[in-house]
Amino acid sequence: MDRREFLRQISLWSAGITLGVPGFRITGEAVAAERPEAVVSQATGKDYVALVTKVLDPLGGMGKFVRPGDKVVIKPNIGWDRNPEQAANTHPLIVKTLVEQALAAGAGEIKVFDRTCNEERRCYVNSGIKDALDRIKDKKVTYFHPDPRKFIPVDIKRGKAVSRLEIYKDALEADTYINVPIAKHHGLSRLTMGIKNSMGVLGGRRGNMHHDLGQKLADLATVIRPKLTVIDATRILLRNGPQGGDLDDVKVLDTLIASADPVAADAYTTTLFDLIPEDIESTVAAYKMGLGEMNLDAIRIISA
């Protein structure tokens, strides 16, 4: 940019005139290069605080993923106006513990949010996540309802079913994105896990994602690439998902699954429902796009 161009831009911006919202470019090649190792850690225990440490240890602990000063996004599922027992949202204690661990690892700032399906405030309250995060008295931690102004159109260069999606700015800007879904039944996709949970950073009309959902989720996964996926299977919803509501549909497993490989995390979690990874379209589509490993034989599974 030469001086003339620089001055022109400065004057235009200062006058508040520009031709469009600045886009956000993500080069597919750059992200594809850093393909993580297909290691999945799974741990079981009733003490959920200890369980988080236990499941992360074999992967190198939180410090492996969060560097001092990092901008961290922790993205739980807060999609529904349901309480923790109903197993529709990520368990608040898991979210809280992950936030605390990221703080301990030196995170510069931690943001927690989800674009909900039911009324936003009710979801944050009833899920228990608002209350859990309120207990952390640290200014580095913020949670909020997505601001409609901050969804940025992103070209999905490698997309097969979608070419452009509106994605929340903070999710794109994070140094470390930690995906914390709950594993549960879902009518259309059969199961909701990590890759499906990324829909919570989407703006616009998300309903359209449901036409060819599996491929579209995989397309989204080419740009939303969590460094760490922690799947909450402390209690799983077996029927009437993704929001449930009936405690008879909930099965308590007291289990967490963690992996740097989002596809492997989903593939392994599928087995908890007596299904195989091939049953889940988004897993298959993401695997075919080279976003991770889905063959259980090729995944190193560590029971911590």
The residues that touch other proteins, with contacts defined as CB under 8 A, are 13-14, 16-18, 21, 81, 117-122, 125-126, 130, 149, 186-188, 205, 207-208, 210-213, 240, 242-246, 249
Q: Min. distance of Cβ 121 from other proteins in angstroms?
A: 6
Cα separation, 197 vs 217, in Å, equals 9
What Rg value do the Cα atoms of the chain yield, rounded?
19
Q: Min. distance of Cβ 172 from other proteins in angstroms?
A: 16
Report the residue number, 208 or 295, with the smaller CB distance to other proteins: 208
Report the residue number, 108 or 187, with the smaller CB distance to other proteins: 187
CA dihedral over 130, 150, 258, 139, signed as positive or negative = negative
Report the residue number, 126 or 255, with the smaller CB distance to other proteins: 126
Report the residue number, 37 or 246, with the smaller CB distance to other proteins: 246
Q: Min. distance of Cβ 46 from other proteins in angstroms?
A: 26
Q: Min. distance of Cβ 97 from other proteins in angstroms?
A: 23
Q: CB–CB of 79/117 below 8 Å?
A: yes
Q: Min. distance of Cβ 138 from other proteins in angstroms?
A: 19
DSSP characters over the chain: --HHHHHHHHHHHHTT--SS---B---HHHHHH-PPP-EEEEEE-S-HHHHHHHHHGGGT-GGGT--TT-EEEEEE---SS--GGGTSS--HHHHHHHHHHHHHTT-SEEEE----SS-HHHHHHHTSHHHHHHT---TTEEE-PPPGGGEEEEE-TT-SS-SEEEEEHHHHH-SEEEEE-EEEEETTTEEE-HHHHGGGGB-S-GGGGGTTHHHHHHHHHTT---SEEEEEEEEEE-SSTTT---GGGEEEEEEEEEES-HHHHHHHHHGGGT--GGG-HHHHHHHHTTSS---GGGSEEEE-
Q: Min. distance of Cβ 225 from other proteins in angstroms?
A: 25
Q: Min. distance of Cβ 265 from other proteins in angstroms?
A: 22
Report the residue number, 123 or 260, with the smaller CB distance to other proteins: 123
Report the residue number, 12 or 104, with the smaller CB distance to other proteins: 12
Q: CB–CB of 43/255 below 8 Å?
A: yes
Q: Min. distance of Cβ 108 from other proteins in angstroms?
A: 18
Report the residue number, 53 or 240, with the smaller CB distance to other proteins: 240
Helices 281-288 and 262-270, axial angle in degrees (round to 10)? 150
Report the residue number, 21 or 276, with the smaller CB distance to other proteins: 21
